[in-house]
Every structure is written in C-alpha cells, then in structure tokens.
Amino acid sequence: MENGDIPENANEHCPGPQSESAGKSDACEGCPNQQICATAPKGPDPDLVAIAERMATVKHKILVLSGKGGVGKSTFSAQLAFALAAKDFQVGLLDVDICGPSIPKMLGLEGQEIHQSNLGWSPVYVESNLGVMSIGFMLPNPDEAVIWRGPRKNGLIKQFLKDVYWGELDFLIVDAPPGTSDEHISIVQCLDATGVDGAIIVTTPQQVSLIDVRKEVNFCKKVGVKVLGVVENMSGLCQPITDFKFMKFTDNGEQKDVTQWVLECMREKAPEMLNLLACSEVFDSSGGGAVKMCNDMGISFLGKVPLDPQLCKAAEEGTSCFANKDCVVSAPALKKIIEQLIETNGWSVLVSNGV
C-alpha cells in the first residue's frame, strides 16, 4: 500500500488507507487489510500533490454527470468537446466511465492506443486541440468486460489524473459514469485542491430519470461541486417531416410503407409542408420535466435537446453534429446551450482574448 494506494483486495467502499476512518469504518469490516490500515501512520496522499501539479495547466474542469445511464450523457460530453474545440479552445475529454467507456466510439477513435513519453501518458488526439483519454484505449478488444471492484477503478482514475500529460488546456471535460458511486467521490477528492468549475447534469424528461437527478444534485451539494445546470436530453422526437417513414395498416393487420405516396401528395397539393418539422413527445413530461425540477431545487436549466436521429448517427460515426448539415434540429439546440454556458460562466473572456 505504497503512497496511500488502495489495495486491490480491499472492500468495495474502502475509505482509503490514509483516511482517519481507515480500518475503523463499517466498510472495513472483514477486509484483510483492516488491522494494517487501523495502525498505519496517516498523512497527506503524495499522489494528490502530483495531481495538483498536473492540473495546474488546466484552466477549467467540468464534470458531466447523470442520475441514470442511457440518457445521452456521453453524447453530450462528446458534442461539448467538439463544440469547444471548434471555437479554438484547447480541450481534453477524460472518460472515467470505467465499465462503459463509450467516448472512443463517439469521437471516432476506436482501435487507438495510448502511448507513453517521458512526460507521461499521451492523450489520443481527434484534432490538434482535442485530446481524449479512456480505458477504452487500454482494452485488448472492445468486447472485453471490465470487472473491477471500486478500489481498482479509483486507482485508475487517480492514475489518469496524475500521469496523463495534457499540456496547456482551456477545458478538461470529465465524462463520469451514471449515479453517485466511488468513482464520483474519487474524481471530486482528487480535483478538490485544484478546483472544479462545476457539473453539468444530463437527464431525460420523465420522472423515473428525474428522481435520480435529484440525488445527483444533492450529491454535488454535499461534496461542494457547483451545479452549472441541467440539460434535458431526448426532449421529444423532432425531425424534418421528409425524414419520416409513413406506414399504413392493411386489412390483415400488417404494416405497409406508404412514404412515397404521402410525399407525392404533399408535393402536389401542399408543397409548403415539405419544409415543416414534425415533433412528438416520447417520454411523459406531464410532471413538468427538468424545468420544474430545476425551479424546485433552485438550479439553472440550460435547455432542451430533442431526440434527433441525425445526432444519434453522428454519435455512432464519431463525428461532430455541428459539422453535419443534416443535424438541423439538435445542433442549434446544443449550440444554444453551450453558448449559454460560455457566457454565464465568464468563459467568453477566453474567446475575446483570442485564446
């Protein structure tokens, strides 16, 4: 247990050998290291000093969180990184979702590997000003399952923060796993001395997601992380009417594709309809959605991003939706949210200074 590292055979919620509660808390019961931790001398973790030195060249650190999985958190993280890089910021994207690392796919970096230099681990670069680090680059194949207990996950997060050489960064975006688990505590504790600008929380409109988002907000309050705002993702299906497929039930109950017939009718009888967007609610938002939750909890609501098949396609292809002329619905919504973040948090100073 050199340098205060958590041993691999520790219990899942190990407080760490340098903690005052090491060997004494309920989480330590039955751990083979309990007696050692209880009697070992305590002191500051030298790794935290190394992390502080490494993070000294990073101006802003942003956590992207979600209460549940599958709400589009990583998609938002990826597009936020693309958008900031397109504004000529120096951007790093750190994927700490150890068991579900989807960032390499969403940045078009599948199959890439991490390289080491005398300065540390080198990020994998999408562009010269957009670097990425993920456990996904370390797996022997993309189907490999990561079956790790909490202490080993936390050790890798610490190593990412301590050993990755980002150079000068304007923004480090941290894509965290869903929920409020050991990984979240680790990332907050490791970055505490260097300061975290805050967290963006991604949700969908329905109550089953918002219930867990409330827990995420309370987690941020307890650990002293500012909530920069909440993004309501998948806020209704919205796309050009010409992108829809139109179906008709036949007499025997089967579905028949009548798309061409419908489009031809529009062209002949109402051509102006071809320029319309068609929108539909996907999730039940009768409870007020994220807007009401933000009002109730006194936090900022950043905006809504519709469920856009073109955004899904961009994520699958690992490309920026802002460079895709077909993302006519999601790209403007995301752009508005990101510009609001830049303006309200004073990051526009970096733009005006030509950083």
Feature table: binding site for ATP: 67-74
Q: Which amino acid is at 2?
A: E
Binding-site members for [4Fe-4S] cluster are 14, 28, 31, 37
Q: What's phi and psi for 352, nearest 5 deg?
A: -65, -25
Q: What's phi and psi for 247, nearest 5 deg?
A: -120, 155
Cα–Cα dist 299/199, whole Å: 11
Binding-site members are 14, 28, 31, 37, 67-74
Sequence-distant (6+) residues with CB within 8 A of 300 are 227, 228, 229, 230, 294, 344
Sequence-distant (6+) residues with CB within 8 A of 92 are 58, 123, 130, 131, 132, 133, 166, 169, 171, 172, 173
The gap from C-alpha 204 to its chain's centroid, in whole angstroms, comes to 14
Sequence-distant (6+) residues with CB within 8 A of 84 are 91, 170, 171, 173, 338
Structure tokens belonging to residue 212: 């867990």
111-137 burial: b if 16+ Cβ within 10 Å, else e: ebeeeeeeeebbbbebeebbbbbbbbb
Q: Which helix (H) or strand (E) holds 209?
A: helix 207-223
Overall residue count recorded for the chain in this entry: 355
